[in-house]
Amino acid sequence: MAAKVIAGTPVEVNEEGYLVDASQWNRDMATEIAREVDIQELTDDHWKVIDFLRRDAEEKGGSPTIRRLKKAGGIDTKLLYELFPGGPLKKATKIAGLPKPASCI
């Protein structure tokens, strides 16, 4: 594990840069992490995804799949790919301060 400062807060991240402790996450961190993965601005649609991911992970105990995002979160898959290009679930969970989903390589 490595130490890193995100939005002025020291945190532990794994070898891929995902937060080790999701409880350390805050919205300012999300904005900074988004820039690191080439998303310059988080829109209301981005926040809808991020907020659902965090709620669902808290309730279910893990990062949801894209299918769950669509079914339970009401998030259109096409929109998800537009919002988080080049690996939507990987990028979205990283920005949300959650572990990398098991379904992502």
Active site residues: 104
Distance from the first to the final alpha carbon of the chain: 19
Query: Identity (one letter) of the amino acid at 15?
Result: E
CA-based nearest residue to 30, from 22, 60, 78: 22
Which structure tokens are listed for 98? Answer: 């959650």
Cα separation, 83 vs 49, in Å, equals 9
